[in-house]
């Protein structure tokens, strides 16, 4: 057993040397942080990355906790085609949950591991400049009818100002950013956390963007875990889309990751956020645990 652990350390060494001083952007949903034990395990892994000299920037959402609070307070929620309509009352709850509850809990878990973390929203330091998402034509999959939907206080990212993030990372702090942004008039918006993570990764020219998900990667067959793709290059992913190997929801996932790598991020990873040590295994072992897309 001791020999096994020592072998793992040996396997990790070249990766530690390679990634020291590089930037990783790690995104996880509020669902990942909901379980306290899971959150503390993840904080330990983030602290270890930070401790060996990797610059880590965390982005988080919190959709599940937002829905739970809304139900508790009797604030009706509308979700269309998987996207939440953020009315004024829901925005108030989003500010409480994202920039308040979840962000503070992540900071406390990192503090327990001796990591100097700083909690931010995209509004702090004008990190995320956004505009209100224009009304969109949405097709009802059941009826085939199309209607125009106004998503309310939902924003689209216009620009990332990385000045504050770079200042923190260069001074050995770990930024933890909630998925809110604002426009020039100070209007606050709820913004998709995956989008924020991707745009920040591009702006920081990150070595890795790691997306912690409910599943441990991308599957050729979503119902068969043995079809998980372990590693794929941009060219191979494009071929999979062109020849029909990639189907359904796998196509937009691959397309968004391809776009990300074409804009300068070195690699993108989709791993499980609900299992112990998946982040460390993905970064520090040859085999990894999820799906890795490389340029």
Summarised one tens digit per residue, pLDDT across range 197-243 is: 999 999 999 999 999 988 888 888 878 888 888 999 999 999 988 98
Phi/psi zone of residue 205: left (φ > 0), alpha (ψ -120 to 50 degrees), beta?
Answer: left
Predicted pLDDT of residue 252: 76
Is residue 3 one of the residues assigned to a domain?
A: no
Q: Tokens 């196509």 sit at which residue? A: 251
Check pLDDT > 80 for residue 22: yes
The winner for highest mean pLDDT among 58-72, 79-93, 158-172 is 158-172
Predicted pLDDT of residue 256: 86
Predicted pLDDT of residue 40: 94
Is residue 44 one of the residues assigned to a domain?
A: yes
Residue 181 · residue 191 · CB < 8 Å: yes
* Angle at 264 (CA atoms; ends 60, 280), nearest 5 degrees: 50
Rounded Cα–Cα distance for residues 157 and 134 (Å): 12
Is residue 273 one of the residues assigned to a domain?
A: yes
pTM, two decimals, is 0.93
Using 50, 70 and 90 to split pLDDT, how confident is the model at 33? confident
Is residue 12 one of the residues assigned to a domain?
A: no
CATH of the domain at 120: 3.40.1160.10
- pLDDT tens per residue, range 144-167: 788 899 999 999 999 999 999 999
The whole-number average pLDDT for the span 101-107 is: 96
The whole-number average pLDDT for the span 92-121 is: 96
Is residue 9 one of the residues assigned to a domain?
A: no
Predicted pLDDT of residue 34: 86
Rounded Cα–Cα distance for residues 100 and 38 (Å): 19
Structural domain boundaries enclosing 181: 21-294
Check pLDDT > 80 for residue 250: no
Is residue 14 one of the residues assigned to a domain?
A: no
Q: Cα-flanking dihedrals φ and ψ of residue 250, to 5°?
A: -70, -30
* pLDDT-wise least confident of 113-117, 166-170, 211-215: 211-215
Predicted pLDDT of residue 206: 97
Domain count, the chain: 1
Select from 152, 28, 25, 164 the least CA-distant residue to 93: 152
Is residue 8 one of the residues assigned to a domain?
A: no
Rounded Cα–Cα distance for residues 148 and 137 (Å): 5
């Amino acid at each position: 057993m001791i020999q096994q652990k020592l072998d793992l350390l040996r396997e990790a060494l070249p990766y530690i040397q390679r990634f020291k001083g590089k930037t990783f952007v790690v995104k996880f949903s509020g669902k990942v942080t909901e379980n306290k034990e899971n959150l503390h395990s993840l904080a330990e892994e983030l602290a270890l990355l930070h401790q060996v000299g990797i610059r880590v920037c965390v982005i988080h959402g919190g959709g599940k906790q937002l829905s739970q609070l809304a139900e508790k307070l009797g604030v009706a929620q509308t979700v269309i085609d998987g996207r939440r309509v953020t009315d004024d009352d829901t925005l108030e709850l989003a500010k409480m949950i994202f920039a308040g509850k979840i962000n503070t809990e992540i900071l406390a878990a990192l503090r327990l591991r001796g990591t100097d973390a700083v909690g931010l929203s995209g509004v702090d330091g004008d990190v995320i400049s956004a505009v209100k998402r224009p009304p969109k034509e949405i097709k009802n999959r059941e009826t085939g009818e199309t209607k125009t939907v106004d998503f309310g206080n939902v924003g689209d990212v216009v620009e990332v100002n990385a000045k504050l993030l770079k200042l923190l990372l260069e001074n050995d702090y770990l930024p933890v950013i909630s998925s809110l942004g604002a426009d020039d008039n100070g209007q606050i918006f709820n913004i998709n956390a995956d989008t924020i993570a991707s745009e920040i990764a591009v702006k920081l020219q990150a070595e890795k963007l790691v997306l912690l998900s409910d599943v441990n990667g991308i599957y050729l067959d979503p119902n068969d875990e043995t079809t998980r793709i372990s590693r794929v290059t941009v060219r191979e992913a494009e071929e999979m889309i062109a020849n029909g190997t990639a189907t359904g929801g796998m196509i937009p996932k691959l397309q968004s990751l391809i776009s990300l790598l074409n804009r300068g991020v070195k690699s993108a990873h989709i791993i499980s956020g609900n299992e112990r040590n998946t982040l460390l295994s993905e970064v520090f072992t040859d085999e990894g645990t999820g799906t890795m897309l490389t340029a």
